[in-house]
Amino acid sequence: MEPYTSEDIHAYAKWLTQECQAAGLNAEQYGAEILIHGASNHLSERIICKPDEQGHTRWHWSWGVPIGRRGDSSWLLAVDDIDELIRSISKVVCVPLRRTGM
């Protein structure tokens, strides 16, 4: 498989941004990076598309860990994977706030 070009990665980032927005997340694309705010804007996460240690192009959390299963080297973005990827992102940015002392 040929390496992804910058244009490919930007197109995937645009698609993921649009899918996040359709899922109710506030997502903004900055090249290969996407800034995602949860519905309440209390949590946000910046994800980036870049090669991992093995050279596989993948989405990574801001703390450097690839999103998804470590053994899956093909998880850049496929139609079958988009829902799972958005669920993973939502779990990080949409943690419900705890109510105390009501």
Residue 27 vs residue 52, higher pLDDT: 27
- Residues 18, 24: Cα–Cα separation, whole Å: 10
- Residues 39, 36: Cα–Cα separation, whole Å: 10
What would the mean pLDDT of 4-15 be, rounded to a whole number? 86
| pLDDT tens sequence across 49-64 | 887 777 777 888 898 8
| pLDDT tens sequence across 63-80 | 888 886 555 555 555 556
- Residues 3, 7: Cα–Cα separation, whole Å: 11
Distances (CA, A) of 3 to 9, 25, 46, 53: 10, 30, 23, 15
Residues paired with residue 32 on neighbouring β-strands, in sequence order: none
